[in-house]
Structure 1
Amino acid sequence: MMPAPAAPETMADAVAAYHSYAADRLSELRDHATSMRAAIGNGAADTARTEWLAAQQAWQRVGAAYGSFGELGGAIAPGSRGLQQGAADPGFKGLRRIEYGLWHGQGAAELVPVVDELLSDLAALEAKLPETAVDPADMPLRAHEILEDAQRDHLSGRGDQGSGLALALTRADVDATKEVLDLIRGLLENLKRGFPAKLDGELAALSSAIDATRADGVWTPFPSVPLPQRQQVNAAMGRALESLALVPALFSTD
């Protein structure tokens, strides 16, 4: 059995480990996007939707580098808000454009070119990744911002383009947050003893609250989830965000 990789001891170590992690997630995204293209071409809408979700979740799990990807990141997973023509705007592309098409009855003629452009952008990003610098100061900040963005864009319904899969995407964002925390765990423990364990508990509670909304393994649109379960998700999210807000503050005073 191969020994487990050593835990990062410095923020530079954490950034290096994160780059490797991000490369793996982008590879997963590409594999799912390729399968999605084939499904769209074959008229297999249900399979295409399943592959879209897996691709979008892989993107959400990338987590900490969104701000480092520049225009390529914006091309891979933009939203239609702010575009003059909304969903019909030529600038609306990437995963969210594909989501819109798959849940609004569009087929191969409309969507295969969009997937092809997505795959081209992914190839460019993967080639650029080794020279894409994640600012070490961003790692603690992203530990909070990933879930903050999930609350703003997913649970609010703001980013939805028809799939109603906000909870599935939020769940992937929890995974991304856990990954960032794992990479800075030792550094954080040195700053505040026992704090990583507290965060583990709160993220586990959030994961459980989200998972409990699934009915027979199927994700339910958040507004359709029974009120008590929505309240549990919102409460767990609030507790986690309140605690995670302390992470960048701790590092800023180090």
Structure 2
Amino acid sequence: MIVKTTEFVDAVKAGKVDEAKALFPVARTYWERIEPVAEKFGDLDPITDGREPDAIAEGVDFTGWHRIEKQLWVENNTEGMDKYADQLLDNVEKIVALGQDAPLTALELAQGSKGLLDEVATGKITGEEDEFSHTDLWDFKANIEGSQAAIASLRPVLEKQDPALVAKLDTEFAALDKELNQHQDQTTGDWTFYEQLSKDQIKALSDAVAALSEPISQVAAVVAKSA
């Protein structure tokens, strides 16, 4: 995450608009995989990944990923972005360091897997998060990958306590992956921009997320029983 964020920040500070636009969803992929970790560290999450309406409502400066995103896609330049780029990288480095110093417990992993899926259900599926770049499906996939990784780390416990739940999780993760992956260019790896999706395609993704949400919501209870 630090490497890719650095590449993005360097492009922004060099005024390389097209390069920064290309790097934006890639760098965010690493962020979106670990987002529940960031939420452990108070204000670091909102100042790194907060949206403009929330900043306005709270009367604070609009900063982080989405401030730079707005400049790139709305103004098509990087003017005035150096301070936001430096702050973004500094905050990412802090979150990585804090995450290494405070590893997730099994219960936090279980809750994090649900938190990542909730990110999809409440943000990415509506298209509200990356409202300027419409790169929501990059984030969507990263959230799913993060949730899968959390479940994989808990798999030995889950298989022992509730093998039927594991089978259900595997089935629904596969179904969601299949539904989502049809929107990725298999040659370039790029995803369809959100505004290009039809209402039927969005509903199909939403239904797949909902189907996975039910078994995911049971994981924390199973983990807690085994503690």
Same fold (TM over 0.5): yes
List alignment gaps of at least 5 residues for structure 2: none
- 1:124 and 1:246 map into 2 onto residues whose CA distance is 32
TM-score, length-scaled by structure 2: 0.86
Q: Do the aligned partners of 1:164 and 1:222 also contact (CA within 8 Å) in 2?
A: yes
Aligned residues: 224
Q: Within 2, Cα distance between the matches of 1:96 and 1:167? A: 15
The farther-off stretch of 196-205 and 222-231 is 222-231
**Partner residue of 1:181?**
151
TM-score, length of structure 1 as denominator length: 0.78
Contact map agreement 2:17 2:76 (CA 8 A) in 1: no
C-alpha contact 1:63 1:146 (8 A) present in aligned 2 = yes
Q: Is 1:140 aligned to residue 119 of structure 2?
A: no
Is 1:53 aligned to 2:25, yes or no?
yes
Q: Is the 8 A contact 2:26 2:138 kept in 1?
A: no
Unaligned runs of 5+ residues in structure 1 are 1-28
Give the conservation status (yes or no) of the 8 Å contact 2:68–2:85. Answer: yes
In structure 1, the partner of 2:161 is 191
Runs of 4 or more consecutive aligned structure 1 residues displaced over 4 Å after TM superposition: 215-218
2:212 counterpart residue number: 240
- Residue of structure 2 in register with 1:21 after alignment: none
The separation in 2 between residues aligned to 1:230 and 1:207, in whole angstroms, is 14
> How far is 1:85 from its partner?
6.9
Distance 1:63 1:200, change over 3 A: farther
Q: Displacement, 1:133? A: 5.1
What's the RMSD between the two structures over aligned residues? 2.4
Which of 42, 47, 55 is residue 83 of structure 1 equivalent to?
Answer: 55
Aligned CA distance change for structure 1 residues 37 and 253 (closer, same or farther; 3 Å): closer
1: CA distance between counterparts of 2:110 and 2:70?
A: 33
Counterpart among 120, 123, 127 of residue 157 in structure 1: 127
- 1:221 and 2:193 are equivalent in the alignment: yes
Query: Compared with structure 1, are the counterparts of its residues 133 and 33 closer, same or farther at alpha carbon in structure 2 (3 Å cutoff)?
Result: closer
| Cα separation, 2, equivalents of 1:76 and 1:82 | 12
- The CA deviation at 1:215 is 5.7
| Structure-1 separation of matches of 2:97 and 2:225 | 36
Partners of 1:94 and 1:183 lie apart in 2 by: 30
Identify the range of structure 1 (172-181 vs 148-157) with the bigger mean alpha-carbon deviation.
Answer: 148-157
Secondary structure (helix, strand or coil) at the match of 1:65 reads helix
2:74 corresponds to: 104
How far the C-alpha of 1:253 sits from its partner, in A, is: 4.0
